[in-house]
A and B are shown apart, each in its own frame.
Chain A
Amino acid sequence: MSESMRPTPEAEHLHQELSAVWGNSPGWRGRLSVVNHSTLGLRFMFTGLVFFLLGGVLAMLIRTQLALPDQAFMSPEIYAQVTTMHGTVMMFLFAIPMLEGLAIYLIPKMIGARDLACPRLTAFGYWCYLFGGIILFASLLLEMAPDSGWFMYTPLSSSEYAPGPGSDFWLLGITFVEISALSAGVELTVSILRTRAPGMALHRMPLFAWYILAMALMIVVGFPPLILGSVLLELERAAGMPFFTVAGGGDPILWQHLFWLFGHPEVYIIFLPAAGIVSTLIPVFAGRPIVGYGWVVAAIVITGFISFGLWVHHMFTVGIPQLAQAFFSAASMLVAVPTAIQVFVWLATLWLGRPRMTLPMLWVTGFLVIFVCGGLTGVMLALVPFNWQVHDTHFVVAHLHYVLVGGMFFPLLAGAYYWLPLVTGRMPSEPLGRLGFWLTFLGFNLTFLIMHWTGLLGMPRRVYTYDSAMGWDLYNLISSIGGFMMAAGIAAVLVDLVLHGRYGRRAPPNPWGADTLEWSLAMPPASYNFASLPRVESRHPLWESPSLGEEIARGEHARPGAAHGRRELFGSEALTGRVRQVIHLPGNSLLPLYAALCLAVVCVSLLTRLYPLALLGLAGAGVLLLRWSWENGGHSRAAPLRHDEPEDPPLHSRTADGPGRWTMGVALLADGAFFLSLLFGWFYLWTVSPEWQMPARSPLSLPLLLASGAALTLGSLWLERRVAALRRGREVGLTLALGGIAALGGLHVALLVLVLMVAGLSPTATAHDATLLVGLAYLLAHGGLATVLAALQAWRAGLGLVGARLPFEPGVVALLWRYQVGVYWILVAAIALLPRLTGAGP
């Protein structure tokens, strides 16, 4: 810790007091119960680094195999596993979690908060990532790794052509890891919108926060299609439901749609935070504010949206009508505009400032060179006729590495070198860092620039061998040499990182002369980040008042210390940054670990086909998560009602609008994306699948469906009325009313079960019945959850944990009910009404 940051006894006292409340508990138990965002952010990044190195070893194996023609270094089976796992590990276990970790670590520090809004969710996300990653990677050690390519096209990945457990490892492991990504997406969104420093209105937010907000929302909307796809494919593999099998009325192309609906936004989910690093570093090293802040915000929003309209450009060869391809082709080119806006904003900032070529800027420069090249080949690939030629060749392999390594890895290292002094308090070594950069940069270009050419000469991707007569030998050899050179560069960087922690020069405060709040903290930052919470009225707080750090440490800003024993931060208005309430956060907890362990049990028992154990694990996870939600609000382990409570602003659980409401809202957004994907799947199979069979009469009983929906709608309306009354301070008969609402929910679920029983579906025979089953199961799960939560609210009202002084929670549950009413009627219209109206369908 830098002494200059805490010079006075008051500051030392504050530090003791805050550390006692915010610190991680000691010992092993303490390490497992951490919920602090700094610790967990670093854990995310460290785990991501380990997976990166493992994925890198796989890459080196690939390059060894392809270095010469007709090599027998690896058998074709092993090669297939290695290529599949290289892509999977790099995308799902390295790129996404690494950037999430960076955001989890940095965002609260940048927006002036002491932690993220949902600390236990951070921990849960980390454990899910760790366990999912271990399960997935274990498959490689067991030599039963997935081998159908990292996008797992059906039918190659379905049970007939991939009978081993490899595909199951992929589907279950990835879904597990995606739960982690979704948790991070939800809480980053809520934190950025609701926990910014007082006065930090939307238009004063650091650009990095805008980028992460976009990334988080894109994760929330973009990951559910793949989760749905994975669920359906696993159901097909394990239970024989023919979603992707032509003979049963399914369609293998549906998988491609679901995969790329996720897969293309994924590229931008990876690129946006990296571009956020670039947009943060360039103003610092150019010594001036960014040119065109508003333009960058617009570019971020545009990228976020347009990237969802490009997915078909991965599918230009599947035989979609040319006009539809032209739409996607044009949309793919459109995304070049926001990217160009950002590049020229950066250029303008450099030209209008006085840039310094520091080590982080060297990596940013490497990023620019590589990424511009990859972006330009990306525009080429958007052109349909050209795409038809080079699709699935090494040209595409080269392009995607230019975009992903250039667009993510280089900025990430720029960011690593930039924020390293913050994390460790020491400066990295310049000579070693530069050596690492040049080896990596030159090695990368040697590998992949040549690879464009190999692709143009006709080398398809994912071949384990090639004939010397093809004329690809020399280019492959060069690529392999370059690959090993890049590996040497990364090794040098790693050595630098390790050595600097021990021998690095002590970093002075704010060593780069940066403008954002994280540099006002101690280096390394304390568990609570800010000893007092500053007001921020500028985009560049540290440039405006360089002594901000000392003022914060001395407790000269709002809410210094933690004499009340609660973990507190400000809940601010999303738009203006005006303070609305004080958010009290939960402390260290083992519940996230236990819940994630239960899910790991589910995952492993599904892999080993021990279904009863899987059910047990699921029930365990459910109970633990409900217990987790129980320790909230006025609970004795959260913030029990007291007489000396803050009034202005009040604690969030005493208001109607805490961050939990937003968490529920954003989680429902993800849920809605899942639901829309399901709806898309239904209509897609119905209209496009070659052998779809629509029964002459819908098997679903309409009267029962209407009755069930009526119970649900009534319950929801009743709940809304009680929530409104609670806001006005009326709590008479609350327990009874909530109990009644739960009973209506029970009726809704019971009637839905009856619908299912009467229908007599045969989900293994037709995709139609299988889709109905999944739709009804979706409604049942949500109806069941809504019912249980309403019943728990009744119980809490009885215990005095919900009432006029604690009106918060029923409003959160009401959102779920509202959502269920919406999806219920939409789904009933789609699967029960519409088929009746159109007869047997087209």
Chain B
Amino acid sequence: MTPLRRWLAPSHPVQLLLGLTLWSLWFVLLYAGLSVACELAPPSPGQGALTGINAWLAVLTLAILALLGWLAWRGLAVGRASVGRPRFIALVGAGLHLYSAAGVAFVGLPLVALPPCL
């Protein structure tokens, strides 16, 4: 197996870091994207939360959410079928993916309520 495929297996310890790494990358993209978009093309404050910036960031959020959800489901399925160390890693990994998904959903929530650049 190539290292990459080995890393992506649900029982590899990298799974303990993958979910929250995705969360972090998404978080950085969210903050950087918002800052740069507000610098380049700030929408008028009257538009409220219904702007292109909010929409794009929401799409990004949903995509990450789907990916994390799938990873969590996979880890849970594999973990339940294993024993010992692989079970430990897969289940803790699944929990971390689940938490990351919840984190993405929770942090993304203000996107539907707040105007982007004020």
User: A and B touching (C-beta < 8 Å)?
Assistant: yes
A 295-313 binary contact with B (CB < 8 Å = 1; else 0):
1011001101110110000
B99's partner among A294, A302, A324, A842 (CB-CB below 8 A) is A302
Count of A-B contacts with CB under 8 A? 95
CB under 8 Å from chain B, chain A span 272-329: 294-295, 297-298, 301-302, 304-306, 308-309, 321-324, 326-327, 329
Query: Can you list the 10 inter-chain pairs with the closest CB atoms, starting with the nearest?
Result: A326-B110, A305-B20, A203-B88, A330-B107, A323-B114, A294-B92, A298-B95, A309-B27, A323-B116, A298-B92
Q: CB of A724 within 8 A of chain B?
A: no
What are 17 A-B pairs with beta-carbon distances under 8 A? A201-B85, A203-B88, A298-B92, A298-B96, A301-B17, A301-B92, A302-B96, A305-B17, A305-B20, A305-B21, A306-B103, A322-B115, A322-B118, A323-B118, A330-B109, A331-B103, A688-B39
Bound Cα distance A305, B35 (Å): 22
Bound Cα distance A321, B115 (Å): 9
Q: CB of A337 within 8 A of chain B?
A: yes
Bound Cα distance A304, B17 (Å): 10
Q: Is the CB–CB distance between B110 and A330 below 8 Å?
A: yes
Q: How far is the CB of A345 from chain B (nearest CB, A)?
A: 13
Bound Cα distance A329, B85 (Å): 36
Q: How far is the CB of B75 from chain A (nearest CB, A)?
A: 12
Bound Cα distance A321, B33 (Å): 13
Chain A residue numbers with a CB within 8 Å of B115 are 322-323
A321's partner among B84, B91, B109, B118 (CB-CB below 8 A) is B118
A301's partner among B20, B103, B107, B109 (CB-CB below 8 A) is B20
Chain B residue numbers with a CB within 8 Å of A302 are 20, 96, 99
Q: Is the CB–CB distance between B24 and A305 below 8 Å?
A: yes
Bound Cα distance A331, B115 (Å): 19
- Given A305-B24, A323-B111, A334-B106, do A298 and B31 touch, yes or no (CB 8 Å)? no
Q: CB of A590 within 8 A of chain B?
A: no
Interface of B is mostly: helix
Bound Cα distance A792, B17 (Å): 36
Q: Which residue of B lies closest to A335 (CB)?
A: B103
Given contacts A301-B92, A302-B96, A688-B39, list 17 more A-B pairs with CB under 8 A: A201-B85, A202-B85, A202-B88, A203-B84, A294-B91, A297-B92, A301-B20, A306-B20, A309-B23, A322-B118, A323-B110, A323-B111, A324-B34, A324-B35, A327-B110, A330-B106, A576-B85
Q: How far is the CB of A392 from chain B (nearest CB, A)?
A: 22
Q: How far is the CB of A684 from chain B (nearest CB, A)?
A: 9
Q: CB of A687 within 8 A of chain B?
A: yes
B96's partner among A203, A301, A334 (CB-CB below 8 A) is A301
Bound Cα distance A323, B108 (Å): 10
Q: Which of A295, A327, A688 has the most CB of B within 10 A?
A: A327
Chain A residue numbers with a CB within 8 Å of B117 are 321, 323
Bound Cα distance A576, B88 (Å): 12
Q: CB of A463 within 8 A of chain B?
A: no
Q: CB of B89 within 8 A of chain A?
A: yes
Q: Is the CB–CB distance between A687 and B95 below 8 Å?
A: no
